[in-house]
Amino acid sequence: MTNASTLRSIAVFCGSNDGFNPDYVEGARALGREIARRGLRLVYGGTRKGLMGVIADSVLAEGGQVIGIITRLLFELGHVHEGLARFEVTQDMRSRKARMSECADAFIALPGGLGTFEELFEAATLTQLGEHRKAVACLNIGGFFNPVRSLLDHAVKEGFMKAEHSEMLMFDTDPSALLDALERWQAPTVTKWIGPGPI
């Protein structure tokens, strides 16, 4: 169970581009302000680009704590955020994700592309399998994650996922409400298998 007594660090997955809708940038800023206001630590991908740079700047501007976890390739390309007091360089993307997970108590996805989707679903899968018990959420700015919600519902309808695991991913448009939901979250107690199968 993740609650107010254990929620200290939030890993945020998001795009290294800004996207076309200016609401994406403002939503990232708002989430950063709320993370800092609550005294939480931001764990993110370490770059200064796109929404990743926006949320790091927002937390830092409010005096909050930020840890950047960046791959060696991106670091050598000069993509690390120059304002970070603390960052770590990992060998590759797999080790970067593992390290971000180690440093975080819960996960939030902002709008992004393939990397964001992959990180979001890996974090949720590890929770589903019980490899960690950490909440996963999406800040649904401008309805960006509506297709993800529909896809999860479709997987339930077609017999590939239990409703409890579909509902495990939280969606909200308000950063404060989303962080409140992360603090209240409890892990599902059902197995992933539908019908006969491993227990």
Pick the CATH number of 9-183 from 3.40.605.10, 3.40.50.720, 3.90.228.20, 3.40.50.450: 3.40.50.450
In residues, how long is the chain? 199
Q: Cα–Cα distance between 132 and 155 in angstroms, integer?
A: 22
Residue by residue, DSSP assigns 147-162 as HHHHHHHHHHHTTSS-
Domain map of the chain by residue range?
Answer: 9-183
Contact 56, 42 (CB under 8 A): yes
The string of pLDDT tens digits covering residues 78-134 is 899 988 889 999 999 999 999 999 999 999 999 999 999 999 999 999 999 889 999
pLDDT at 4 exceeding the cut of 60: no
pTM of the model: 0.92
Q: What's the pLDDT at 1?
A: 38
The string of pLDDT tens digits covering residues 184-199 is 998 888 888 887 655 5
